[in-house]
A and B are shown apart, each in its own frame.
Chain A
Amino acid sequence: MQPTGASIIHINVTDFAAAVAVAKNPSLSETPFVVALEESARTVVLTPSRRAWEEGVRTGMPLRLAKQMIPSLQVLPWDSQSTGEADAAIATIAQAYSPSIQCDRGGHIYLDMQGTTRLFGPVVDSAVQIRGEIRKKLNLEASVAVASNKLVAKVGTRTTRPAGLIQVREGDEASFLAWQDVSLLSGVGSATARLLSVAGITTIGQIAALENDQVLAFLGKRGIALRNAARGLDSSPLQNGLSEKRIVQRKISFAEPILEMDSLKAAVVVAGEDAALAMRSAGLGSAKIHIALLYSDGRRSEASHRTKGQWVYDHEITLVAWKVAQLAASRRVRILSCSLSLAELSPLAPTLDLILPDAQHRSDSLQQSVDRMRHKFGPGILTHGAALAHA
């Protein structure tokens, strides 16, 4: 076969945490179970096993409801070590095929295979080989897709999950997307799906067919991006490297060394908001916040905090960052600069609505409105009151 021009591979291990649990303990393969954080206030299913999924259990479902559906349901804790090791192992396999990879945690990885056909043959053959290696070495089933861009490749793996293969030729993106369910398109969350459903729009092709004025009237300005995505248009490059090894970092250098905690808090809030906006724009959330302070005597102090889940919103990140900063600021010495890092990044889950915030999640609503304002008028247009001390 001649190269098709479609050189992006997306690998997707569906229900990753559950799949890793089964790989680690094959006796679980026929057991309905979920991965959930039972100690959290509103416990929801993070990942259902295949058997639980077949019984109707879904990601995001309250655990109480899942247990009503399956009385024998087992609940496993999130095994961050095993999932992390599996992510790293998948990345190692992928790196043998391309130097250009984007490793998003949770069993998602993109490869840009441009220029590799002479070495490895057709891109789809490489995709098959990578999937085979993941199965053989890690005992994990993956869905793989080959397309001309990340967006279409991702819809491809969502279409064929949990263990399929698809190759979408360059030029066929829109026709491939046309009959897929709208829920497969990144940016369509439950609220947008409901809105589209009311208008009788259930397929991606129906979104793609909307004219500009229809999109604006129906979905607002952000709708244009969704409509373009529905047409298979995506020029976003791969963000190379492991997502958990990527960090979003902001450094505030004070004009004069400071001693007042209010000034430090203002700096932390500004840095936190700015970093969080960049992180969300990349579709990521953070599991680790790190603060480093440089003192006027040349010494440094650092502190960090981790979560088993994910920090996404400004109010979470600035709150935690300030606590971490207070831990770091253990010395009564003037501070020259403050660095804030959001680390251990992973894709946002579940998919945030591109158009409408889900009414059930007020935080989404507020945060997305704030982000829209900042994208439009600049990061400083809206900020926390505490940050004004830094202005």
Chain B
Amino acid sequence: MKSMSTVLIGTSGYSYTEWIGPVYAQGTKREDFLAQYAQLFPTVELNFSYYRMPDATQLAAMHKSASSLQFSIKAHQSLTHTIDPASWREQALSFSHAIEPLAESQVLSAVLLQFPYSFHYEVAERKYLDSLIKTLAPFPLAIEFRNSSWYNNRTLDSLRERNIAIASLDLPSVKGNPPMMDVKTSSSLAYIRLHGRNEETWWGSDSASRYDYLYSAKELTNLLGRIQSFTTHTQKVLIYFNNHCRGQAVANALTLYQLAVGGKACNQQVQALSISM
């Protein structure tokens, strides 16, 4: 029998002042963004945690302000981009302590480890990754590799053994990006990140321009086909739109939800519910 998956759709980040107007009501204060966001979506990917180490009090408060939200959280850069062999374990411990309130409240859906292009499939990197995974083992993990050398059968087998999701990416098809690849490596989690397909601005521009893209309805329909492949024998499927420029991520996430439920009309309250597929 095929088991049903819970599919949660959200965005990468929620705290964008430029979303006042297209997403949040005019005059909305920054501290109220999350509560309003939770009216729209059942999940959010927190990415501020990449830039500064989160703390438990802060995350507990976020959960309190949006108790319906499931959280995914991007690991701090000291664990993925600026790894110091002498101190990373201490950083990992700090990060673990910070996210414990979310885990205890059962609203932590995933920890995202996003590794940069400079993180190659070499022995030292593999050893580090293995150690990091062991350190963060109590939490559900998803890994995003930007270097294509990781996209091989050995990596996939290793992740399967550890029941860790490899993030599926939707990126512009330009030189330097990893191949588009969807593979189930975890029975409990699938993790899909949609970065937009803006080929012109992907390299050599700021992040706002890089993620300035609005998926068409046809593209979203095809994405739904990719998503459906994860919904057999995977407990939870998380989908995050990262094309945040001008609130396009929100527009696309809402459209994708409507497509997923078969085009049925839905109001914003319904949107915040998960989908079973």
- Residues in chain A near residue B180, CB distance under 8 A: 124, 165-167
A334–B138 Cα gap in the complex (Å)?
A: 82
Asked if B146 CB lies within 8 Å of chain A CBs, one says no
Knowing A125-B222, A128-B222 are in contact, say whether A172-B179 is a contact too (CB < 8 A). yes
- A2-B173, A125-B219, A129-B222 are known; give 15 further A-B pairs, CB within 8 A: A1-B199, A29-B2, A128-B222, A141-B232, A160-B156, A160-B181, A163-B184, A164-B182, A165-B226, A166-B180, A167-B173, A169-B173, A169-B175, A172-B175, A181-B154
- A204's nearest neighbour on chain B, judged by CB, is B152
- The answer to whether A168 touches B153, judged by C-beta atoms less than 8 angstroms apart, is no
List 10 contacting pairs A-B, 8 Å CB cutoff, sorted by A: A1-B199, A121-B222, A128-B226, A159-B153, A164-B182, A167-B173, A167-B179, A171-B175, A172-B175, A179-B121
Binary A-proximity of B108-139 (CB < 8 A = 1, otherwise 0): 00000000000001000000000000000000
Q: How far is the CB of B226 from chain A (nearest CB, A)?
A: 6
Q: Which of B2, B154, B175 contacts A179 (CB 8 A)?
A: B154
Asked if A241 CB lies within 8 Å of chain B CBs, one says no
A169–B149 Cα gap in the complex (Å)?
A: 14
Binary B-proximity of A246-288 (CB < 8 A = 1, otherwise 0): 0000000000000000000000000000000000000000000
- The answer to whether A2 touches B199, judged by C-beta atoms less than 8 angstroms apart, is yes
Asked if A80 CB lies within 8 Å of chain B CBs, one says no
- Residues in chain B near residue A58, CB distance under 8 A: none
Knowing A166-B181, A169-B179, A181-B153 are in contact, say whether A1-B222 is a contact too (CB < 8 A). no
Binary B-proximity of A157-190 (CB < 8 A = 1, otherwise 0): 0111001111111011001101111001000000
Binary A-proximity of B147-158 (CB < 8 A = 1, otherwise 0): 011111111100
Knowing A2-B199, A128-B222 are in contact, say whether A164-B179 is a contact too (CB < 8 A). no
A184–B219 Cα gap in the complex (Å)?
A: 32
- Residues in chain B near residue A175, CB distance under 8 A: 148-149
- Residues in chain A near residue B229, CB distance under 8 A: 128, 131-132, 135, 141, 163, 165
The tally of residues in A whose CB lies under 8 Å from a CB in B reads 34
Asked if B22 CB lies within 8 Å of chain A CBs, one says no
- Residues in chain A near residue B208, CB distance under 8 A: none
A29–B2 Cα gap in the complex (Å)?
A: 9
Knowing A128-B222, A160-B181, A166-B180 are in contact, say whether A4-B156 is a contact too (CB < 8 A). no
Within 8 A of A (CB), among B1-42: 1-2
Q: Which of A30, A121, A159 contacts B152 (CB 8 A)?
A: A159
- Residues in chain A near residue B2, CB distance under 8 A: 29
- The answer to whether A158 touches B153, judged by C-beta atoms less than 8 angstroms apart, is yes
- A202's nearest neighbour on chain B, judged by CB, is B154
Knowing A158-B153, A159-B152, A169-B173 are in contact, say whether A176-B225 is a contact too (CB < 8 A). no
Q: How far is the CB of A202 from chain B (nearest CB, A)?
A: 9
Asked if A60 CB lies within 8 Å of chain B CBs, one says no
Asked if B93 CB lies within 8 Å of chain A CBs, one says no
A129–B226 Cα gap in the complex (Å)?
A: 9
A333–B153 Cα gap in the complex (Å)?
A: 61
The tally of residues in B whose CB lies under 8 Å from a CB in A reads 31
- Residues in chain B near residue A56, CB distance under 8 A: none
Q: How far is the CB of A24 from chain B (nearest CB, A)?
A: 15
A160–B226 Cα gap in the complex (Å)?
A: 14
- Residues in chain A near residue B232, CB distance under 8 A: 141, 163
A341–B208 Cα gap in the complex (Å)?
A: 64
- The answer to whether A164 touches B181, judged by C-beta atoms less than 8 angstroms apart, is yes
Within 8 A of A (CB), among B152-187: 152-156, 172-173, 175, 179-184
Within 8 A of B (CB), among A96-133: 121, 124-125, 128-129, 131-132
Asked if B210 CB lies within 8 Å of chain A CBs, one says no
| Complex A-B, nearest 6 residue pairs according to Cβ-Cβ distance, in ascending order | A164-B183, A179-B152, A128-B225, A165-B182, A167-B180, A125-B222
Asked if B197 CB lies within 8 Å of chain A CBs, one says yes
- Residues in chain B near residue A180, CB distance under 8 A: 152-153
Asked if B228 CB lies within 8 Å of chain A CBs, one says yes
Q: How far is the CB of A76 from chain B (nearest CB, A)?
A: 19
- The answer to whether A168 touches B179, judged by C-beta atoms less than 8 angstroms apart, is yes
- The answer to whether A184 touches B222, judged by C-beta atoms less than 8 angstroms apart, is no
- B166's nearest neighbour on chain A, judged by CB, is A164
- Residues in chain A near residue B184, CB distance under 8 A: 163-164
- The answer to whether A176 touches B151, judged by C-beta atoms less than 8 angstroms apart, is yes
A131–B225 Cα gap in the complex (Å)?
A: 9
A347–B21 Cα gap in the complex (Å)?
A: 60
- The answer to whether A132 touches B1, judged by C-beta atoms less than 8 angstroms apart, is no
A160–B157 Cα gap in the complex (Å)?
A: 10
A141–B234 Cα gap in the complex (Å)?
A: 14
Binary B-proximity of A297-315 (CB < 8 A = 1, otherwise 0): 0000000000000000000
- The answer to whether A165 touches B154, judged by C-beta atoms less than 8 angstroms apart, is no
Asked if B218 CB lies within 8 Å of chain A CBs, one says yes
Q: How far is the CB of A152 from chain B (nearest CB, A)?
A: 11
Asked if A77 CB lies within 8 Å of chain B CBs, one says no
- Residues in chain A near residue B175, CB distance under 8 A: 169, 171-172
Asked if A26 CB lies within 8 Å of chain B CBs, one says yes
- The answer to whether B181 touches A1, judged by C-beta atoms less than 8 angstroms apart, is no
Q: Which of A26, A132, A176 contacts B228 (CB 8 A)?
A: A132
Binary A-proximity of B194-231 (CB < 8 A = 1, otherwise 0): 00010100000000000000000011001001101100
A167–B121 Cα gap in the complex (Å)?
A: 19
A164–B172 Cα gap in the complex (Å)?
A: 20
- The answer to whether A132 touches B183, judged by C-beta atoms less than 8 angstroms apart, is no
- Residues in chain A near residue B183, CB distance under 8 A: 160, 164-166
